[in-house]
Structure 1
Amino acid sequence: MQTNIDLQGLRVAVTGGTSGLGLALVRQLTAKGACVAFVARTATNVERIADETGAHGIVADVGKKEDIYPIALQVTASLGGLDVLINNASSLGPVPLALLADTECEDLEGALAVNLLGAFRLTKALFGALAASAREGRDALVINISSDAAVNAYPDWGAYGASKAALAHLTAIWNEEAKADGIRLLALDPGDMDTPLHALALPNADPSTLKAPELAAAEIIEKMLDALPVRAQPTAGAHA
Protein backbone atom coordinates (compact mmCIF):
# COMPACT_ATOMS: atom_id res chain seq x y z
CA MET A 1 0.00 0.00 0.00
CA GLN A 2 1.33 3.45 -0.95
CA THR A 3 2.19 5.73 1.96
CA ASN A 4 3.69 8.77 0.20
CA ILE A 5 0.66 9.72 -1.89
CA ASP A 6 0.53 13.42 -2.85
CA LEU A 7 -2.96 14.73 -3.59
CA GLN A 8 -1.97 18.39 -3.71
CA GLY A 9 -4.67 20.43 -5.42
CA LEU A 10 -7.17 17.59 -5.84
CA ARG A 11 -10.66 18.88 -5.00
CA VAL A 12 -12.75 16.28 -3.16
CA ALA A 13 -16.21 16.30 -1.57
CA VAL A 14 -17.17 13.64 1.00
CA THR A 15 -20.63 13.04 2.47
CA GLY A 16 -21.03 11.61 5.95
CA GLY A 17 -17.69 13.11 6.88
CA THR A 18 -17.74 13.22 10.68
CA SER A 19 -17.67 9.54 11.64
CA GLY A 20 -16.55 6.12 10.47
CA LEU A 21 -15.21 5.79 6.93
CA GLY A 22 -16.16 9.35 5.99
CA LEU A 23 -14.13 10.83 8.83
CA ALA A 24 -11.14 8.62 8.01
CA LEU A 25 -11.36 9.76 4.39
CA VAL A 26 -11.49 13.44 5.34
CA ARG A 27 -8.47 13.06 7.63
CA GLN A 28 -6.37 11.12 5.14
CA LEU A 29 -7.30 13.21 2.10
CA THR A 30 -6.44 16.49 3.82
CA ALA A 31 -3.21 15.03 5.24
CA LYS A 32 -2.18 14.13 1.68
CA GLY A 33 -2.78 17.66 0.39
CA ALA A 34 -6.27 17.41 -1.09
CA CYS A 35 -8.71 20.31 -0.83
CA VAL A 36 -11.72 18.76 0.90
CA ALA A 37 -15.30 19.75 1.60
CA PHE A 38 -17.40 17.39 3.71
CA VAL A 39 -21.06 17.13 4.64
CA ALA A 40 -22.71 15.95 7.86
CA ARG A 41 -25.88 16.72 9.80
CA THR A 42 -24.60 17.73 13.26
CA ALA A 43 -23.19 21.25 13.43
CA THR A 44 -20.93 20.67 16.46
CA ASN A 45 -19.32 17.64 14.82
CA VAL A 46 -18.87 19.47 11.53
CA GLU A 47 -17.20 22.40 13.28
CA ARG A 48 -14.91 20.10 15.26
CA ILE A 49 -13.70 18.13 12.23
CA ALA A 50 -13.31 21.28 10.15
CA ASP A 51 -11.12 22.79 12.86
CA GLU A 52 -9.10 19.58 13.17
CA THR A 53 -8.47 18.96 9.47
CA GLY A 54 -8.75 22.34 7.76
CA ALA A 55 -11.44 20.94 5.47
CA HIS A 56 -14.56 22.96 4.65
CA GLY A 57 -17.50 21.65 6.68
CA ILE A 58 -21.09 21.80 5.43
CA VAL A 59 -24.01 21.20 7.77
CA ALA A 60 -26.75 19.47 5.77
CA ASP A 61 -28.65 16.22 5.27
CA VAL A 62 -28.16 14.50 1.91
CA GLY A 63 -31.42 12.64 2.54
CA LYS A 64 -33.34 15.91 2.21
CA LYS A 65 -34.02 17.11 -1.33
CA GLU A 66 -34.02 20.75 -0.30
CA ASP A 67 -30.46 20.48 1.07
CA ILE A 68 -28.87 19.20 -2.14
CA TYR A 69 -28.38 22.39 -4.15
CA PRO A 70 -27.11 24.37 -1.14
CA ILE A 71 -24.57 21.56 -0.60
CA ALA A 72 -23.51 21.67 -4.25
CA LEU A 73 -23.14 25.47 -4.19
CA GLN A 74 -21.03 25.37 -1.01
CA VAL A 75 -18.83 22.57 -2.38
CA THR A 76 -18.01 24.35 -5.62
CA ALA A 77 -17.62 27.75 -3.94
CA SER A 78 -15.29 26.47 -1.22
CA LEU A 79 -13.16 24.29 -3.52
CA GLY A 80 -13.30 26.36 -6.70
CA GLY A 81 -14.72 23.39 -8.59
CA LEU A 82 -14.75 19.64 -8.03
CA ASP A 83 -12.69 16.66 -9.17
CA VAL A 84 -13.91 13.82 -6.94
CA LEU A 85 -17.25 13.24 -5.20
CA ILE A 86 -17.43 10.46 -2.60
CA ASN A 87 -21.03 9.59 -1.73
CA ASN A 88 -20.40 7.91 1.62
CA ALA A 89 -23.35 8.91 3.82
CA SER A 90 -25.54 5.90 4.61
CA SER A 91 -28.71 4.98 6.47
CA LEU A 92 -29.58 1.51 7.77
CA GLY A 93 -33.32 2.02 7.51
CA PRO A 94 -35.01 0.40 10.51
CA VAL A 95 -33.05 0.28 13.79
CA PRO A 96 -32.99 -2.34 15.18
CA LEU A 97 -32.72 -4.14 11.83
CA ALA A 98 -35.93 -5.84 10.77
CA LEU A 99 -37.30 -8.41 8.37
CA LEU A 100 -38.81 -6.82 5.29
CA ALA A 101 -42.29 -7.91 6.37
CA ASP A 102 -41.76 -6.00 9.61
CA THR A 103 -40.14 -2.94 7.99
CA GLU A 104 -42.21 0.23 7.99
CA CYS A 105 -42.58 1.90 4.61
CA GLU A 106 -41.11 5.07 6.11
CA ASP A 107 -37.95 3.20 7.15
CA LEU A 108 -37.46 1.86 3.63
CA GLU A 109 -38.05 5.35 2.27
CA GLY A 110 -35.45 6.70 4.71
CA ALA A 111 -32.79 4.25 3.51
CA LEU A 112 -33.56 5.03 -0.13
CA ALA A 113 -33.58 8.78 0.54
CA VAL A 114 -29.98 8.74 1.80
CA ASN A 115 -28.34 5.77 0.13
CA LEU A 116 -29.85 6.10 -3.34
CA LEU A 117 -31.67 9.38 -3.91
CA GLY A 118 -29.18 11.43 -1.91
CA ALA A 119 -26.26 10.11 -3.93
CA PHE A 120 -28.21 10.51 -7.17
CA ARG A 121 -29.33 14.06 -6.45
CA LEU A 122 -25.94 15.28 -5.28
CA THR A 123 -24.14 13.69 -8.23
CA LYS A 124 -26.67 15.28 -10.58
CA ALA A 125 -26.27 18.68 -8.91
CA LEU A 126 -22.47 18.47 -9.17
CA PHE A 127 -22.35 16.83 -12.61
CA GLY A 128 -21.67 20.14 -14.36
CA ALA A 129 -18.74 20.91 -12.05
CA LEU A 130 -17.28 17.45 -12.65
CA ALA A 131 -17.72 17.79 -16.41
CA ALA A 132 -16.00 21.18 -16.27
CA SER A 133 -13.02 19.58 -14.52
CA ALA A 134 -12.81 16.98 -17.27
CA ARG A 135 -12.92 19.69 -19.95
CA GLU A 136 -10.08 21.48 -18.18
CA GLY A 137 -7.93 18.36 -18.42
CA ARG A 138 -8.40 17.42 -14.80
CA ASP A 139 -9.77 14.17 -13.41
CA ALA A 140 -13.49 13.76 -12.76
CA LEU A 141 -14.66 10.86 -10.62
CA VAL A 142 -17.63 9.83 -8.48
CA ILE A 143 -17.17 7.08 -5.88
CA ASN A 144 -20.34 5.60 -4.41
CA ILE A 145 -19.74 3.59 -1.24
CA SER A 146 -21.57 0.29 -1.58
CA SER A 147 -21.70 -2.88 0.52
CA ASP A 148 -21.65 -6.65 0.21
CA ALA A 149 -25.30 -6.38 1.29
CA ALA A 150 -25.90 -5.08 -2.24
CA VAL A 151 -25.17 -8.55 -3.66
CA ASN A 152 -25.80 -10.93 -0.74
CA ALA A 153 -29.31 -11.52 0.63
CA TYR A 154 -28.77 -11.02 4.37
CA PRO A 155 -31.95 -11.40 6.46
CA ASP A 156 -32.85 -8.19 8.34
CA TRP A 157 -30.75 -6.06 5.98
CA GLY A 158 -33.49 -5.64 3.37
CA ALA A 159 -33.87 -1.84 3.35
CA TYR A 160 -30.13 -1.22 3.43
CA GLY A 161 -29.25 -4.00 0.98
CA ALA A 162 -31.93 -3.04 -1.53
CA SER A 163 -30.87 0.61 -1.48
CA LYS A 164 -27.19 -0.28 -1.93
CA ALA A 165 -28.01 -2.73 -4.74
CA ALA A 166 -29.90 0.02 -6.53
CA LEU A 167 -26.97 2.39 -5.96
CA ALA A 168 -24.50 -0.10 -7.42
CA HIS A 169 -26.55 -0.57 -10.59
CA LEU A 170 -27.23 3.13 -10.92
CA THR A 171 -23.47 3.68 -10.71
CA ALA A 172 -22.77 1.16 -13.46
CA ILE A 173 -25.33 2.70 -15.79
CA TRP A 174 -24.21 6.26 -15.11
CA ASN A 175 -20.58 5.29 -15.67
CA GLU A 176 -21.49 4.19 -19.19
CA GLU A 177 -23.52 7.33 -19.85
CA ALA A 178 -20.93 9.75 -18.46
CA LYS A 179 -17.99 8.56 -20.53
CA ALA A 180 -18.73 11.21 -23.15
CA ASP A 181 -18.32 13.87 -20.45
CA GLY A 182 -15.03 12.43 -19.21
CA ILE A 183 -16.50 11.40 -15.84
CA ARG A 184 -15.99 7.99 -14.24
CA LEU A 185 -18.28 6.48 -11.60
CA LEU A 186 -17.30 3.60 -9.31
CA ALA A 187 -19.20 1.67 -6.64
CA LEU A 188 -16.76 0.41 -4.00
CA ASP A 189 -17.40 -1.97 -1.11
CA PRO A 190 -15.08 -1.11 1.81
CA GLY A 191 -15.92 -4.30 3.73
CA ASP A 192 -17.30 -4.72 7.25
CA MET A 193 -15.84 -1.93 9.36
CA ASP A 194 -15.70 -1.00 13.04
CA THR A 195 -17.89 2.08 12.69
CA PRO A 196 -20.81 3.63 14.59
CA LEU A 197 -23.15 2.53 11.78
CA HIS A 198 -22.05 -1.09 12.08
CA ALA A 199 -22.34 -0.94 15.87
CA LEU A 200 -25.86 0.41 15.49
CA ALA A 201 -26.75 -2.49 13.20
CA LEU A 202 -24.97 -5.25 15.14
CA PRO A 203 -24.25 -4.02 18.67
CA ASN A 204 -22.91 -7.43 19.77
CA ALA A 205 -20.36 -7.78 16.96
CA ASP A 206 -16.73 -8.31 17.98
CA PRO A 207 -14.81 -5.19 16.86
CA SER A 208 -11.63 -7.24 16.47
CA THR A 209 -13.24 -9.08 13.56
CA LEU A 210 -13.95 -5.83 11.69
CA LYS A 211 -11.76 -3.68 9.48
CA ALA A 212 -10.54 -0.37 10.89
CA PRO A 213 -12.10 2.54 8.96
CA GLU A 214 -8.60 4.03 8.59
CA LEU A 215 -7.50 0.95 6.62
CA ALA A 216 -10.67 1.01 4.52
CA ALA A 217 -10.11 4.71 3.77
CA ALA A 218 -6.53 4.05 2.65
CA GLU A 219 -7.80 1.30 0.32
CA ILE A 220 -10.49 3.60 -1.10
CA ILE A 221 -7.89 6.31 -1.77
CA GLU A 222 -5.65 3.83 -3.60
CA LYS A 223 -8.58 2.74 -5.77
CA MET A 224 -9.43 6.39 -6.32
CA LEU A 225 -5.92 7.05 -7.59
CA ASP A 226 -6.13 4.06 -9.93
CA ALA A 227 -9.23 5.69 -11.44
CA LEU A 228 -7.61 9.13 -11.91
CA PRO A 229 -5.76 8.87 -15.24
CA VAL A 230 -4.60 12.50 -15.33
CA ARG A 231 -3.04 12.36 -11.87
CA ALA A 232 -1.50 8.97 -12.65
CA GLN A 233 0.45 10.39 -15.59
CA PRO A 234 4.12 11.02 -14.83
CA THR A 235 5.06 14.67 -14.49
CA ALA A 236 7.70 16.24 -16.71
CA GLY A 237 11.15 15.11 -15.70
CA ALA A 238 9.84 12.24 -13.59
CA HIS A 239 11.55 8.87 -13.86
CA ALA A 240 9.50 6.06 -15.37
Structure 2
Amino acid sequence: MSETNVWKDRRVIVTGGTSGLGLATARALVERGARVGIVARTRERVLAVERESDRIVGVVGDVARKEDVHPIAVQLLGRLGGLDVLVNNASSLGPVPLRSWADTECEDLEAALAANVIGPHRLTRAVLGALLEAPSRGANAVVVNVTSDAAVSAYAGWGAYSASKAALLHATRIWDAEMASRGVRFVSFDPGDMDTPMHAAALPDADPRTLKRPEQSAEELLAVIETTMRRGAS
Protein backbone atom coordinates (compact mmCIF):
# COMPACT_ATOMS: atom_id res chain seq x y z
CA MET A 1 0.00 0.00 0.00
CA SER A 2 1.78 3.15 -1.18
CA GLU A 3 1.81 6.46 0.65
CA THR A 4 -0.33 8.11 -2.03
CA ASN A 5 -3.35 5.79 -1.86
CA VAL A 6 -3.83 5.21 1.86
CA TRP A 7 -7.21 6.95 1.98
CA LYS A 8 -8.38 7.06 -1.63
CA ASP A 9 -11.87 5.55 -1.73
CA ARG A 10 -11.51 4.06 1.73
CA ARG A 11 -14.92 3.75 3.37
CA VAL A 12 -15.14 5.20 6.86
CA ILE A 13 -17.94 5.59 9.40
CA VAL A 14 -17.60 8.34 12.02
CA THR A 15 -20.14 8.53 14.83
CA GLY A 16 -20.83 11.91 16.36
CA GLY A 17 -19.82 13.31 13.00
CA THR A 18 -21.43 16.76 13.05
CA SER A 19 -19.34 18.59 15.64
CA GLY A 20 -16.01 18.59 17.44
CA LEU A 21 -13.56 15.82 16.66
CA GLY A 22 -16.07 13.85 14.59
CA LEU A 23 -16.71 16.70 12.17
CA ALA A 24 -13.03 17.59 11.93
CA THR A 25 -12.21 13.95 11.20
CA ALA A 26 -14.89 13.64 8.52
CA ARG A 27 -13.60 16.76 6.78
CA ALA A 28 -9.98 15.61 6.94
CA LEU A 29 -10.93 12.23 5.48
CA VAL A 30 -12.80 13.80 2.58
CA GLU A 31 -9.78 15.99 1.80
CA ARG A 32 -7.73 12.79 1.49
CA GLY A 33 -10.18 11.12 -0.88
CA ALA A 34 -12.07 8.85 1.51
CA ARG A 35 -15.80 8.24 1.45
CA VAL A 36 -17.36 9.01 4.80
CA GLY A 37 -20.57 8.03 6.53
CA ILE A 38 -21.51 10.12 9.53
CA VAL A 39 -23.98 9.43 12.33
CA ALA A 40 -25.52 12.05 14.61
CA ARG A 41 -28.77 12.67 16.44
CA THR A 42 -29.79 16.02 14.90
CA ARG A 43 -31.23 15.88 11.37
CA GLU A 44 -30.43 19.49 10.48
CA ARG A 45 -26.77 19.04 11.36
CA VAL A 46 -26.50 15.77 9.47
CA LEU A 47 -27.99 17.35 6.35
CA ALA A 48 -25.71 20.38 6.65
CA VAL A 49 -22.58 18.22 6.78
CA GLU A 50 -23.81 16.04 3.92
CA ARG A 51 -24.09 19.15 1.76
CA GLU A 52 -20.40 19.89 2.22
CA SER A 53 -19.29 17.07 -0.10
CA ASP A 54 -20.66 14.34 -2.31
CA ARG A 55 -18.24 12.05 -0.48
CA ILE A 56 -20.21 12.36 2.75
CA VAL A 57 -23.39 10.45 3.49
CA GLY A 58 -25.26 10.81 6.74
CA VAL A 59 -27.73 8.94 8.91
CA VAL A 60 -29.73 10.36 11.78
CA GLY A 61 -29.56 8.11 14.81
CA ASP A 62 -28.35 7.61 18.35
CA VAL A 63 -25.83 4.81 18.92
CA ALA A 64 -26.93 4.69 22.56
CA ARG A 65 -30.37 3.45 21.45
CA LYS A 66 -30.53 -0.27 20.67
CA GLU A 67 -33.28 0.20 18.12
CA ASP A 68 -31.23 2.75 16.15
CA VAL A 69 -28.02 0.79 15.67
CA HIS A 70 -29.06 -1.86 13.14
CA PRO A 71 -30.73 0.71 10.82
CA ILE A 72 -27.63 2.92 11.09
CA ALA A 73 -25.39 0.02 10.07
CA VAL A 74 -27.61 -1.16 7.22
CA GLN A 75 -28.04 2.31 5.73
CA LEU A 76 -24.39 3.35 5.90
CA LEU A 77 -22.98 0.04 4.69
CA GLY A 78 -25.41 0.15 1.79
CA ARG A 79 -24.53 3.71 0.83
CA LEU A 80 -20.77 3.24 1.26
CA GLY A 81 -20.67 -0.20 -0.34
CA GLY A 82 -18.65 -1.69 2.50
CA LEU A 83 -16.41 -0.52 5.30
CA ASP A 84 -12.69 -0.15 5.98
CA VAL A 85 -12.60 2.00 9.12
CA LEU A 86 -15.03 2.65 11.99
CA VAL A 87 -14.45 5.58 14.34
CA ASN A 88 -16.55 5.24 17.49
CA ASN A 89 -16.41 8.89 18.48
CA ALA A 90 -19.89 9.71 19.81
CA SER A 91 -19.80 10.13 23.59
CA SER A 92 -21.82 11.18 26.59
CA LEU A 93 -20.43 13.13 29.54
CA GLY A 94 -22.93 11.63 31.91
CA PRO A 95 -24.69 14.06 34.26
CA VAL A 96 -24.08 17.76 33.61
CA PRO A 97 -23.19 19.78 35.61
CA LEU A 98 -20.58 17.26 36.73
CA ARG A 99 -21.24 15.74 40.12
CA SER A 100 -19.57 13.49 42.64
CA TRP A 101 -19.63 9.73 42.24
CA ALA A 102 -21.76 9.41 45.37
CA ASP A 103 -24.32 11.81 43.89
CA THR A 104 -24.41 10.13 40.46
CA GLU A 105 -27.78 8.54 39.85
CA CYS A 106 -27.75 4.97 38.59
CA GLU A 107 -29.81 6.07 35.58
CA ASP A 108 -27.13 8.63 34.65
CA LEU A 109 -24.46 5.95 34.85
CA GLU A 110 -26.56 3.64 32.69
CA ALA A 111 -26.92 6.41 30.09
CA ALA A 112 -23.16 7.00 30.00
CA LEU A 113 -22.48 3.28 29.62
CA ALA A 114 -25.10 3.04 26.85
CA ALA A 115 -23.43 5.80 24.83
CA ASN A 116 -19.78 5.15 25.59
CA VAL A 117 -19.53 1.36 25.88
CA ILE A 118 -22.63 -0.54 24.77
CA GLY A 119 -23.32 1.66 21.74
CA PRO A 120 -19.82 1.25 20.26
CA HIS A 121 -19.92 -2.48 21.01
CA ARG A 122 -23.30 -2.91 19.35
CA LEU A 123 -22.35 -0.89 16.27
CA THR A 124 -19.03 -2.71 15.91
CA ARG A 125 -20.82 -6.04 15.97
CA ALA A 126 -23.33 -4.79 13.40
CA VAL A 127 -20.61 -3.85 10.90
CA LEU A 128 -18.09 -6.57 11.73
CA GLY A 129 -18.91 -8.66 8.69
CA ALA A 130 -18.07 -5.75 6.39
CA LEU A 131 -14.86 -5.03 8.31
CA LEU A 132 -13.75 -8.65 7.93
CA GLU A 133 -13.99 -8.25 4.15
CA ALA A 134 -11.89 -5.07 4.11
CA PRO A 135 -8.39 -6.61 4.39
CA SER A 136 -8.79 -7.92 0.83
CA ARG A 137 -8.33 -4.26 -0.21
CA GLY A 138 -4.69 -4.38 0.88
CA ALA A 139 -4.69 -3.15 4.46
CA ASN A 140 -6.01 -3.99 7.89
CA ALA A 141 -9.50 -2.82 8.68
CA VAL A 142 -9.41 -0.52 11.69
CA VAL A 143 -11.81 0.30 14.51
CA VAL A 144 -10.93 3.34 16.62
CA ASN A 145 -12.57 3.84 19.98
CA VAL A 146 -12.15 7.43 21.15
CA THR A 147 -11.23 7.36 24.82
CA SER A 148 -9.83 9.88 27.28
CA ASP A 149 -7.17 10.30 29.93
CA ALA A 150 -10.14 10.03 32.31
CA ALA A 151 -10.12 6.34 31.44
CA VAL A 152 -6.86 5.91 33.37
CA SER A 153 -6.83 8.87 35.80
CA ALA A 154 -9.39 9.53 38.53
CA TYR A 155 -10.87 13.04 38.31
CA ALA A 156 -13.38 14.18 40.88
CA GLY A 157 -16.78 14.79 39.30
CA TRP A 158 -16.12 12.76 36.17
CA GLY A 159 -17.23 9.39 37.55
CA ALA A 160 -19.78 8.24 34.95
CA TYR A 161 -17.69 9.41 32.02
CA SER A 162 -14.45 8.07 33.48
CA ALA A 163 -15.82 4.63 34.36
CA SER A 164 -17.44 4.22 30.94
CA LYS A 165 -14.31 5.30 29.07
CA ALA A 166 -12.21 2.92 31.17
CA ALA A 167 -14.52 0.09 30.13
CA LEU A 168 -14.25 1.17 26.49
CA LEU A 169 -10.45 1.26 26.71
CA HIS A 170 -10.23 -2.29 27.99
CA ALA A 171 -12.88 -3.53 25.57
CA THR A 172 -10.71 -2.17 22.76
CA ARG A 173 -7.79 -4.31 23.96
CA ILE A 174 -10.00 -7.38 24.09
CA TRP A 175 -11.37 -6.78 20.59
CA ASP A 176 -7.84 -6.40 19.21
CA ALA A 177 -6.60 -9.55 20.93
CA GLU A 178 -9.41 -11.51 19.33
CA MET A 179 -9.59 -9.95 15.86
CA ALA A 180 -6.03 -8.95 14.90
CA SER A 181 -5.27 -12.32 13.34
CA ARG A 182 -8.29 -11.84 11.06
CA GLY A 183 -7.11 -8.48 9.72
CA VAL A 184 -9.25 -6.18 11.85
CA ARG A 185 -7.25 -4.04 14.27
CA PHE A 186 -8.70 -2.15 17.22
CA VAL A 187 -7.04 0.91 18.70
CA SER A 188 -7.97 3.49 21.31
CA PHE A 189 -7.28 7.18 20.81
CA ASP A 190 -7.16 9.93 23.42
CA PRO A 191 -7.59 13.27 21.60
CA GLY A 192 -6.71 15.39 24.63
CA ASP A 193 -8.59 18.42 25.91
CA MET A 194 -10.19 20.09 22.91
CA ASP A 195 -12.20 23.23 22.28
CA THR A 196 -15.52 21.47 21.68
CA PRO A 197 -19.14 21.83 22.81
CA MET A 198 -18.70 18.77 25.05
CA HIS A 199 -15.71 20.27 26.83
CA ALA A 200 -17.57 23.56 27.25
CA ALA A 201 -20.52 21.72 28.80
CA ALA A 202 -18.22 19.98 31.27
CA LEU A 203 -15.98 22.93 32.11
CA PRO A 204 -17.74 26.14 31.05
CA ASP A 205 -15.08 28.38 32.65
CA ALA A 206 -12.17 26.86 30.72
CA ASP A 207 -10.25 29.22 28.43
CA PRO A 208 -10.62 27.91 24.84
CA ARG A 209 -7.21 29.34 24.01
CA THR A 210 -5.60 26.71 26.26
CA LEU A 211 -7.31 23.83 24.44
CA LYS A 212 -6.41 21.88 21.33
CA ARG A 213 -8.33 22.51 18.15
CA PRO A 214 -10.35 19.49 16.96
CA GLU A 215 -8.59 19.75 13.60
CA GLN A 216 -5.23 19.08 15.27
CA SER A 217 -6.58 16.02 17.06
CA ALA A 218 -8.17 14.80 13.82
CA GLU A 219 -4.79 14.89 12.07
CA GLU A 220 -3.30 12.90 14.94
CA LEU A 221 -6.16 10.41 14.76
CA LEU A 222 -5.68 9.81 11.04
CA ALA A 223 -1.96 9.25 11.58
CA VAL A 224 -2.78 6.57 14.16
CA ILE A 225 -5.19 4.89 11.74
CA GLU A 226 -2.66 4.93 8.89
CA THR A 227 -0.06 3.26 11.09
CA THR A 228 -2.59 0.68 12.24
CA MET A 229 -3.67 -0.09 8.68
CA ARG A 230 -0.11 -1.08 7.86
CA ARG A 231 0.55 -3.05 11.04
CA GLY A 232 0.98 -6.78 10.59
CA ALA A 233 -1.45 -9.17 12.21
CA SER A 234 -0.48 -10.40 15.66
TM above 0.5, yes or no, is yes
**For residues 34 and 228 of structure 1, what CA distance do their matches in structure 2 show?**
14
CA-CA distance at 1:6 after TM superposition: 5.7
Q: Which amino acid aligns with 1:110?
A: A
Report the counterpart of residue 44 of structure 1 in structure 2: 44
SS in 2 for 1:184: strand
Deviations 1:153-203 (A, max 9, x none): 000000000000000000001100002321000011010000000000000
Q: Which amino acid aligns with 1:220?
A: L
Does residue 141 (structure 1) correspond to residue 161 (structure 2)? The answer is no
Report the counterpart of residue 197 of structure 1 in structure 2: 198
Q: Does the Cα contact within 8 Å between 2:6 and 2:226 map onto a contact in 1? A: no
Report the counterpart of residue 76 of structure 1 in structure 2: 77
Report the counterpart of residue 228 of structure 2 in structure 1: 227
**For residues 168 and 40 of structure 2, what CA distance do their matches in structure 1 show?**
20
**For residues 96 and 107 of structure 1, what CA distance do their matches in structure 2 show?**
12
Report the counterpart of residue 125 of structure 2 in structure 1: 124
TM alignment of 1:78-227, pairs within 5 A? 78-135=79-136, 137-227=138-228
**For residues 117 and 164 of structure 2, what CA distance do their matches in structure 1 show?**
6
**For residues 180 and 148 of structure 2, what CA distance do their matches in structure 1 show?**
24
SS in 1 for 2:206: coil
TM alignment of 1:23-62, pairs within 5 A? 23-54=23-54, 55-62=56-63
Report the counterpart of residue 9 of structure 2 in structure 1: 9
CA-CA distance at 1:97 after TM superposition: 0.6
Q: Which amino acid aligns with 1:34?
A: A
CA-CA distance at 1:84 after TM superposition: 0.2
CA-CA distance at 1:75 after TM superposition: 1.6
**For residues 176 and 140 of structure 1, what CA distance do their matches in structure 2 show?**
14
Higher deviation after alignment, 127-136 or 176-185: 127-136
% same residue: 55
CA-CA distance at 1:11 after TM superposition: 0.6
SS in 2 for 1:160: helix
**For residues 197 and 5 of structure 2, what CA distance do their matches in structure 1 show?**
28
Deviations 1:98-141 (A, max 9, x none): 10111111111111001000100000111111001124544311
**For residues 81 and 27 of structure 2, what CA distance do their matches in structure 1 show?**
20
Q: TM-score, normalised by structure 1?
A: 0.92
SS in 1 for 2:120: helix
**For residues 37 and 117 of structure 1, what CA distance do their matches in structure 2 show?**
20
**For residues 169 and 216 of structure 1, what CA distance do their matches in structure 2 show?**
22
SS in 1 for 2:93: coil
CA-CA distance at 1:5 after TM superposition: 8.0
SS in 1 for 2:212: coil
**For residues 137 and 32 of structure 1, what CA distance do their matches in structure 2 show?**
17
**For residues 136 and 33 of structure 2, what CA distance do their matches in structure 1 show?**
23
Q: Which amino acid aligns with 1:191?
A: G
